[in-house]
Amino acid sequence: MMGSGKSSVGDVLARRLGRTLVDVDVLIEAAAGRSIAQIFADEGEMSFRTWERAAIQKASAVPGAVIACGGGAVLDPDNVASLRAAGTVVWLQVSPEVAARRLGSDEGRPVLRAISGELAERLRTLIARRADAYAAAADMVVDADGPAEAVADAVLRERP
C-alpha cells in the first residue's frame, strides 16, 4: 500500500542483506520515460498495469534483489507468481492514518484520487478493497506503522 514505506524499508533491507534494491515504480518510469501519474493520465490504469507487469518480471529476474512494488501489483496473479518465484512476499501492513501522514496528499496518486473523502478515509477504503489480495499474496505480514529500521528488523525476524 502507498505510504507503507516500501521504498524506505526496502532500502534498509537491501543494505542489511548486501543486496540490490529494485524499485518497480522507478523501472516503470524509466521504461515509459514519464511519471506513473502521467501514464495513468495518458493511457489509463489498464495500460499502467501492463507496464507494471513487465517491470515486475524484470525486477524478479535480478538474483537476490529486494523488490519494492506498488500497492496494486498483487492484484495481478502473474505479478504474484513472478514475485513468489523471486523470493518471500512481504505485506507491509500500514494503518490508514500513518499512510496518510506519510503521504501528506494524494499528489501523483491517481488510484487514490479516484476515491472521495478525506485522505485517511480514502486510504482505509483502498486498503479494504485490496486486503484479500494482499493476504493471499503475502508469505508474511509485518506491521509497517513504525520507522523503516524497526519495520526492517521485524521483516528479518519473521522471514522464513
pLDDT band with cut points at 50, 70 and 90 for residue 159: confident
The C-alpha cell 498495469 sits at 49
Beta strands in 25-129 (DSSP E): 66-68, 90-93
| CATH number of the domain to which 93 belongs | 3.40.50.300
Q: State residue 108's pLDDT score.
A: 87
- Helix, strand, or coil here: 160? coil
Does position 160 have pLDDT exceeding 80, yes or no?
Answer: no
* Domain annotation covers residue 1: no
The C-alpha cell 526496502 sits at 10
Q: How large is the average pLDDT for residues 152-159?
A: 94
Range of the domain at 47: 6-153
Q: How large is the average pLDDT for residues 140-145?
A: 98
Q: State residue 123's pLDDT score.
A: 97
Does position 99 have pLDDT exceeding 90, yes or no?
Answer: yes
Burial of 30 (0-12, 13-18, 19+ CB in 10 A): exposed
Does position 53 have pLDDT exceeding 80, yes or no?
Answer: yes
What is this structure's pTM? 0.92
CA angle 13/15/21 to nearest 5° reads 70
Provide the residue type at 107 as one letter: E
* Domain annotation covers residue 36: yes
Cβ atoms of 5 and 148 closer than 8 Å: yes
CA angle 122/119/44 to nearest 5° reads 60
* Domain annotation covers residue 148: yes
The structural domain count of the chain equals 1
pLDDT tens by residue, 20-44: 999 999 999 999 999 999 999 999 9
